[in-house]
Amino acid sequence: MSALSRPRGAMLVALRALALGLSALAGIGAFVLFLQFGQTDGLQVVDILRAVLILISTLWLAWGAAQALIGLTSRPEPPRLDPEAPIRGRTAVLVPVYNEDPVATFSRVAAMDASLAATRDPAEIHFAILSDSRNEEIAARETRIFAHLVEERNGVGRFFYRRRINNVGKKAGNIEDFITRSGAAYDYALILDADSLMEGETILQMIRRIEAEPRLGLLQTLPKVIRARSRFARAMQFSASFFSPVFARGLAMMQGETGPFWGHNAIVRTRAFAESCGLPALRGEPPFGGHVMSHDYVEAALLARKGWTVRLDDDLGGSFEEGPENMVDHAKRDRRWCQGNLQHARIIGAPGLKGWSRFVFAQGIMAYIAPLFWLGFLAASISAPLFVPPPDYFPEPYWPFPYFPPSEASKAIGLAIGIFGLLLVPKLLIAARAALQGEARGFGGAAMGFASTLAELAFSSLTAPVLLAFATRSVFQVLLGRDGGWPTNNRGDGRMSASEGFAASWWIVATGLSGLALTYLFAPGLLLWLLPVGLPMIAAPWLISWSSQPSRSDLMQVPSELERPAVVALHDQIFTRWENAFPAIEPPQPAPPAAMGRSPAHA
């Protein structure tokens, strides 16, 4: 996407102001409507508190809806460059690994190398596998399979492997170690995750784009989730393929040249990264001190501070990743992201950052504390009857007829519809546009696209209370000073039994039961309204187990299932062959957080 396709200067400011203005309008409207509803029995302090909480929550929801609206009304444009121009610079593809299955990870490297070879482009591209594995058995297996990779792909001089003795700084420190030691040998570095997979043509396109724009310091793609098997994973996969491109387009338009970095499936200019992105350890103990966990947002902000362009090119395809197969694994990963985003409260005031970078940090923090506002609103609503005086049906002395205040139920219903609309309408509009413009063909057709959208909305509505409970617990854990560490990702089958689900969520069940019981005692009129929240929490163990089982439905199909991408097919072939040659070993148990250490200051 060329810079010409993005708003700049006054236009960019106007676009951001429009999005903020629409969000503020929705939030203020909800605030006023709720105050009017609360005036029925006399305005109390608790009513004002609830109105403020719903104002903040509605602002957050409306911001997401505004982002979708911008994405729906704009289209990505490819950059103006010669697609056949020879690539002059050298590129290193960086693959950080941490106690991963080397057969799966290294076979992805082989597939990407084969995909690049199929293009017959003479660009000089090397692969560097950067191991932080602490498990000695896995580390030994890495060296054996790396030797097999080099032999099979004739990769001497193009493939490199090193294992760090001390994994200070986790992934950020791993990348920094490579940039410090070897970065000067390369013009660009394509940063991947262990589960990343990219088409060779996409890699070449990314190199050409960053080479064509000297001030482009980082170019981020939008990865699509692939190979989802469970009901939960397939819902996430569908959302990432069907809805995320529109939201990403809106984000790209609003961020302009101060774009995002999500830590993987992105290419950086090594000189820009080296001169801008050194991350010192934060003072104090984790979770707010120690090494920077959500380093990607910080690195994007530091690049922008130095005047480099950071851009999301949402038109690029051929960029893939895999996701967690169940809600518990998702919650574990989200726990790490929660700690990293809340840690940004220590960084948001750093000198020299661009205003938009500070706003992005605030957004990241808000993404995790938003459930606290909803929780506060629910708690205040349940306890409100304790603070409201009984109604006075005879306010006028000697007046023989009782006075019944006018019902404000219509305002409450309108408010509820408006809030749910902010969640539902953008997705329905995306489905409508996909049907009208033919984009739904890759998802089984227009009818299947709408059916899948409705299924995803129902599924996300059912699982949202459980996921919000996990997210709320994560926030409280961080605020109470508990370090979540950096647990190993579980990339296995992911199926969970109901007993395993109960072991992970018994406290959610207890919270749901307590919440509904308190509602029945103190605010019985709210009971029906809170059942969609309380019942999924009570059913959390069964939801976790059910959603982790393999999906056999035709709903929520994605293009990669209907027509397998070439690099995915290559990886499937190589992985199957290597899996037979190198029998699997038992996955390691992650080390406890206290044993994972903290990062000292980096240059």
Question: What pLDDT, on a 0 to 100 scale, did the predictor assign at position 374?
Answer: 87
Half-sphere exposure of 190 (CA within 13 A, CB side): 31
**Section 262-283 average pLDDT:** 94
Rounded Cα distance between 153 and 45, Å, is 70
Q: What is the pLDDT of residues 23-74, one digit of tens each?
A: 999 999 889 888 887 666 667 788 889 889 989 989 999 999 999 999 999 8
Question: What pLDDT, on a 0 to 100 scale, did the predictor assign at position 441?
Answer: 94
Q: What is the pLDDT of residues 330-380, one digit of tens each?
A: 999 999 999 999 999 999 999 999 999 999 999 999 999 998 998 898 888
Task: Tell me whether residue 465 is in a domain.
Answer: no
Q: Which domain holds residue 217?
A: 91-228+244-322+565-583
Question: What pLDDT, on a 0 to 100 scale, did the predictor assign at position 489?
Answer: 66
Are residues 1 and 77 in contact, defined by beta-carbon separation less than 8 angstroms?
A: yes
Q: What is the pLDDT of residues 134-146, one digit of tens each?
A: 999 999 999 999 9
Task: Tell me whether residue 260 is in a domain.
Answer: yes
Task: Tell me whether residue 36 is in a domain.
Answer: no
Q: How far apart are the first and last CA of the chain?
A: 34
Q: Residue 287 maps to which CATH number?
A: 3.90.550.10
Q: What is the pLDDT of residues 157-185, one digit of tens each?
A: 999 999 998 888 889 999 999 999 999 99
Task: Tell me whether residue 334 is in a domain.
Answer: no
Q: What is the pLDDT of residues 240-266, one digit of tens each?
A: 999 999 999 999 999 989 999 999 999
Using 50, 70 and 90 to split pLDDT, how confident is the model at 484?
confident
Q: What's the total number of domains in the chain?
A: 1
- pLDDT of 154 strictly over 50: yes
Share of the chain above pLDDT 90, in %: 73
Task: Tell me whether residue 283 is in a domain.
Answer: yes
- pLDDT of 410 strictly over 60: no
| Nearest of 212, 192, 131, 127 to residue 167 by alpha carbon | 131
Question: What pLDDT, on a 0 to 100 scale, did the predictor assign at position 244?
Answer: 95
Rounded Cα distance between 271 and 603, Å, is 15
Rounded Cα distance between 314 and 1, Å, is 8
Q: What is the pLDDT of residues 76-104, one digit of tens each?
A: 777 888 887 899 999 999 999 999 999 99
Residue 75: other Cβ atoms inside 10 A: 12
CA 115 from centroid of its chain's CA atoms: 28
Task: Tell me whether residue 142 is in a domain.
Answer: yes
**Section 565-581 average pLDDT:** 96
**Token digits for 129?**
């596998």
Q: Report the SS3 class of residue 224.
A: strand
In the numeric block, the tokens 């002395």 are attached to: 397
- Which neighbouring-strand residues pair with 268? 189, 218
Burial (CB < 10 A; 0-12, 13-18, 19+), residue 580, is exposed
Using 50, 70 and 90 to split pLDDT, how confident is the model at 4?
very low
Question: What pLDDT, on a 0 to 100 scale, did the predictor assign at position 407?
Answer: 47
Question: What pLDDT, on a 0 to 100 scale, did the predictor assign at position 44?
Answer: 79
Q: What is the pLDDT of residues 513-564, one digit of tens each?
A: 999 999 999 888 889 889 999 999 999 999 999 999 999 889 999 999 999 9
Question: Radius of gyration over alpha carbons of the chain, in Å?
Answer: 26
Task: Tell me whether residue 6 is in a domain.
Answer: no
Rounded Cα distance between 115 and 527, Å, is 57
Burial (CB < 10 A; 0-12, 13-18, 19+), residue 449, is buried
Q: Which helix (H) or strand (E) holds 312?
A: strand 309-312
Q: What is the pLDDT of residues 372-408, one digit of tens each?
A: 998 898 888 888 777 766 555 445 565 554 444 544 4
- pLDDT of 328 strictly over 80: yes
CA 157 from centroid of its chain's CA atoms: 36
The dihedral of CA 99, 103, 106, 112: what is its sign?
Answer: negative
Task: Tell me whether residue 598 is in a domain.
Answer: no
- Sequential DSSP letters for 75-120: -----SS-TTPPP-S-EEEEEEESS--HHHHHHHHHHHHHHHHHHT
